[in-house]
Structure 1
Amino acid sequence: MREVVTVQVGGFANFIGSHFWNFQDELLGLAGDPDTESALSNHGLNMDVLYRTGETPEGVLTYTPRLLSVNYRGSLGSMSSYGTLYNQNPELLSPVATWKGDISTQRSQPYERNLFLRSLYEEEQKQSVSIDSKRQANSQDETQDKDIVDCLENGVQYWTDFSKVHYHPQSLYELNGLWADEEKFNNYGMGKDVFAESFQGEEMAERLRFFIEECDHVQGIQYVVDDSGGFSSVAVDFLQNIADEYTNTPVLLYTVRSPDSFMNPRNKKRNISQDLHNSVSFAKLSSFCKLIVPVGLPFLGGSKASMHLRVNDEKPYHCSAVYAAALHSLSLPFRMDLLGPTSSSISNSGALDFNSLLQMLSGDARQNMVAILDATLPAPTIEEPAVESFLSKLQPLTPEISEDMEDVHSVESLVIHGALGPGERRASVSKIQQAIDAAYEQSSFRPRFCHLSAARCPLPIPLPFPSIFSANVGNRGQLLSSPGSNSSSKGSLDVHSIPMAARLRSSSAVLPFLSNRLENLRKFGVQRGALGGELLKNWGFEKEELEDMSESLASMVKALDPYTDVSSDSD
Structure 2
Amino acid sequence: MVFVRQKLLTMRELVTIQVGTYANFIGSHFWNFQDELLGLAEEPNRDPLFKSSYLDMDVLYRTGETQKGIPTYCPRLLSVGFQGSLGSLNLSGFLYDHIQSPNPDVLTWTGNVARLVAAPHPKNLFLQSLYEEEHGKLDASEDDPASSLTKSIQDIARVECLENDVKFWTDFSKVQYHPQSLYELNNSWTDINKFDNYGIGKDVLSGGLLLEEMNERLRFFIEECDHIQGIQFVVDDFGGFSAAAVEILEDIADEYTNTPVLLYSVRDPCVYANAINQKSIARALHDAVSFSRLSSYCHLMIPVGLPSVRRAFSPLLLVEDHKPYHTSAVYASSMHSISIPFRMQMPGPATSSTFTSGAMDVGEIVHTLSGQSRQNMVTSLAIAMPPPSLIEENNQGTILRNLRSLTPELKEDHEDLLATESLVVQGAFYSDGHRATLSQVEDSLCAAYQREPSKPLFSRLSVALCPLPVPLPFPSIFGSKIGQHGELEYDAVQGVRPRGSLDVESIPMATRLRSSCAIVPFLEKRSGDLRKYGIARGAPGAGLLCDWGFEKDEVDDMGEHLVKLLTAFDPHSGTASDSD
The normalised TM-score by structure 2 is: 0.94
After the TM superposition, which residues 182-221 of structure 1 pair with which residues of structure 2 at under 5 Å, given as runs? Answer: 182-197=192-207, 199-221=209-231
Aligned equivalents of 2:567, 2:496: Cα separation in 1? 49
Q: Per-residue CA shift, 1:416-460, capped at 9, x if unaligned?
A: 000011231111111100110111122222100100000100000
8 Å Cα contact 1:528-1:570 kept in structure 2: no
8 Å Cα contact 1:388-1:439 kept in structure 2: no
1:363 to 2:371 alignment:
yes
1:339 to 2:347 alignment:
yes
Q: Following TM superposition, by how much is the alpha carbon of 1:56 offset from its aligned partner in structure 2, in angstroms?
A: 0.6
Q: Say which is worse superposed, 161-170 or 134-143, in terms of deviation.
A: 134-143
SS of 1:142 mapped into structure 2: helix
Q: Following TM superposition, by how much is the alpha carbon of 1:362 offset from its aligned partner in structure 2, in angstroms?
A: 1.3
- Residue 512 of structure 1 is matched in structure 2 by 521
- Residue 267 of structure 2 is matched in structure 1 by 257
- Residue 28 of structure 2 is matched in structure 1 by 18
- Residue 293 of structure 1 is matched in structure 2 by 302
Inter-CA distance 414–342: structure 2 relative to 1 (3 Å threshold): farther
SS of 1:421 mapped into structure 2: strand
Inter-CA distance 196–217: structure 2 relative to 1 (3 Å threshold): farther
- Residue 5 of structure 2 is matched in structure 1 by none
Q: Following TM superposition, by how much is the alpha carbon of 1:94 offset from its aligned partner in structure 2, in angstroms?
A: 6.7
Inter-CA distance 229–97: structure 2 relative to 1 (3 Å threshold): closer
SS of 1:537 mapped into structure 2: helix
Q: Following TM superposition, by how much is the alpha carbon of 1:127 offset from its aligned partner in structure 2, in angstroms?
A: 7.0
8 Å Cα contact 2:140-2:147 kept in structure 1: no
Aligned equivalents of 1:467, 1:128: Cα separation in 2? 24
- Residue 186 of structure 2 is matched in structure 1 by 176
Q: Following TM superposition, by how much is the alpha carbon of 1:341 offset from its aligned partner in structure 2, in angstroms?
A: 7.5
Aligned equivalents of 2:140, 2:93: Cα separation in 1? 32
8 Å Cα contact 1:344-1:429 kept in structure 2: no
Over the aligned positions, Cα root-mean-square deviation in angstroms equals 2.0
Q: Following TM superposition, by how much is the alpha carbon of 1:359 offset from its aligned partner in structure 2, in angstroms?
A: 1.2
The normalised TM-score by structure 1 is: 0.96
8 Å Cα contact 1:347-1:429 kept in structure 2: yes
8 Å Cα contact 1:511-1:560 kept in structure 2: yes
Q: Following TM superposition, by how much is the alpha carbon of 1:41 offset from its aligned partner in structure 2, in angstroms?
A: 2.0
SS of 1:495 mapped into structure 2: coil
8 Å Cα contact 1:344-1:430 kept in structure 2: no
Q: Following TM superposition, by how much is the alpha carbon of 1:266 offset from its aligned partner in structure 2, in angstroms?
A: 4.4
Q: Say which is worse superposed, 92-101 or 69-78, in terms of deviation.
A: 92-101
- Residue 117 of structure 2 is matched in structure 1 by 107
After the TM superposition, which residues 415-426 of structure 1 pair with which residues of structure 2 at under 5 Å, given as runs? Answer: 415-426=424-435
Inter-CA distance 266–92: structure 2 relative to 1 (3 Å threshold): closer
Aligned equivalents of 1:485, 1:327: Cα separation in 2? 29
1:90 to 2:100 alignment:
yes
Among 288, 291, 311, the residue aligned to 1:282: 291
Aligned equivalents of 1:211, 1:520: Cα separation in 2? 38
8 Å Cα contact 1:4-1:66 kept in structure 2: yes
8 Å Cα contact 1:2-1:217 kept in structure 2: yes
After the TM superposition, which residues 364-513 of structure 1 pair with which residues of structure 2 at under 5 Å, given as runs? Answer: 364-383=372-391, 389-484=398-493, 486-513=495-522
Structure 1: unaligned runs, 5 residues or longer: none
Aligned equivalents of 1:567, 1:130: Cα separation in 2? 67
Aligned equivalents of 2:77, 2:384: Cα separation in 1? 27
Which letter maps to 2:556? E
Aligned equivalents of 1:391, 1:408: Cα separation in 2? 17
Aligned equivalents of 1:156, 1:30: Cα separation in 2? 25
Aligned equivalents of 2:363, 2:84: Cα separation in 1? 36
Q: Per-residue CA shift, 1:507-544, capped at 9, x if unaligned?
A: 01000000000110011110111111111110111211
8 Å Cα contact 2:563-2:574 kept in structure 1: no
- Residue 16 of structure 2 is matched in structure 1 by 6
Q: What is the number of residues matched between the two proteins?
A: 569
- Residue 553 of structure 2 is matched in structure 1 by 544
8 Å Cα contact 1:257-1:296 kept in structure 2: yes
Aligned equivalents of 2:378, 2:141: Cα separation in 1? 56
Aligned equivalents of 1:133, 1:38: Cα separation in 2? 21
8 Å Cα contact 1:23-1:460 kept in structure 2: yes
Q: Following TM superposition, by how much is the alpha carbon of 1:563 offset from its aligned partner in structure 2, in angstroms?
A: 3.0
Inter-CA distance 394–496: structure 2 relative to 1 (3 Å threshold): same
8 Å Cα contact 1:9-1:231 kept in structure 2: yes
Which letter maps to 1:144? Q
8 Å Cα contact 1:375-1:397 kept in structure 2: yes
SS of 2:529 mapped into structure 1: helix
8 Å Cα contact 1:32-1:42 kept in structure 2: no
Aligned equivalents of 1:339, 1:169: Cα separation in 2? 34
Among 557, 562, 565, the residue aligned to 2:566: 557
Aligned equivalents of 2:194, 2:541: Cα separation in 1? 19
SS of 2:279 mapped into structure 1: helix
Inter-CA distance 408–178: structure 2 relative to 1 (3 Å threshold): same
Q: Following TM superposition, by how much is the alpha carbon of 1:348 offset from its aligned partner in structure 2, in angstroms?
A: 0.6
After the TM superposition, which residues 306-325 of structure 1 pair with which residues of structure 2 at under 5 Å, given as runs? Answer: 306-325=314-333
Q: Following TM superposition, by how much is the alpha carbon of 1:214 offset from its aligned partner in structure 2, in angstroms?
A: 0.8
8 Å Cα contact 1:301-1:311 kept in structure 2: yes
- Percent identity of paired positions between Structure 1 and Structure 2: 53
Q: Per-residue CA shift, 1:280-318, capped at 9, x if unaligned?
A: 000000000101110010111111x34410011100000
Inter-CA distance 94–307: structure 2 relative to 1 (3 Å threshold): closer
Q: Following TM superposition, by how much is the alpha carbon of 1:174 offset from its aligned partner in structure 2, in angstroms?
A: 0.3
Aligned equivalents of 2:140, 2:60: Cα separation in 1? 36
- Residue 229 of structure 1 is matched in structure 2 by 239
SS of 2:263 mapped into structure 1: strand
SS of 2:62 mapped into structure 1: strand
Which letter maps to 1:199? L
8 Å Cα contact 1:388-1:440 kept in structure 2: no
Which letter maps to 1:536? L
Q: Say which is worse superposed, 397-406 or 45-54, in terms of deviation.
A: 397-406
Among 77, 84, 94, the residue aligned to 1:74: 84
Q: Following TM superposition, by how much is the alpha carbon of 1:178 offset from its aligned partner in structure 2, in angstroms?
A: 0.8
Q: Following TM superposition, by how much is the alpha carbon of 1:205 offset from its aligned partner in structure 2, in angstroms?
A: 0.6
SS of 1:517 mapped into structure 2: helix
Q: Per-residue CA shift, 1:235-260, capped at 9, x if unaligned?
A: 11110011111111110000000001
Q: Following TM superposition, by how much is the alpha carbon of 1:109 offset from its aligned partner in structure 2, in angstroms?
A: 1.6
Inter-CA distance 137–56: structure 2 relative to 1 (3 Å threshold): same
Which letter maps to 1:197? G
- Residue 151 of structure 2 is matched in structure 1 by 141
SS of 1:407 mapped into structure 2: coil
Inter-CA distance 40–81: structure 2 relative to 1 (3 Å threshold): same
Q: Say which is worse superposed, 62-71 or 414-423, in terms of deviation.
A: 414-423
Q: Following TM superposition, by how much is the alpha carbon of 1:549 offset from its aligned partner in structure 2, in angstroms?
A: 1.1
Q: Following TM superposition, by how much is the alpha carbon of 1:365 offset from its aligned partner in structure 2, in angstroms?
A: 2.9
Among 28, 40, 49, the residue aligned to 2:38: 28
Structure 2: unaligned runs, 5 residues or longer: 1-10
Inter-CA distance 480–197: structure 2 relative to 1 (3 Å threshold): same
Q: Following TM superposition, by how much is the alpha carbon of 1:396 offset from its aligned partner in structure 2, in angstroms?
A: 0.7
Aligned equivalents of 2:41, 2:296: Cα separation in 1? 40
8 Å Cα contact 1:366-1:560 kept in structure 2: yes
Q: Per-residue CA shift, 1:432-491, capped at 9, x if unaligned?
A: 001101111222221001000001000000000000001111010011122236431000
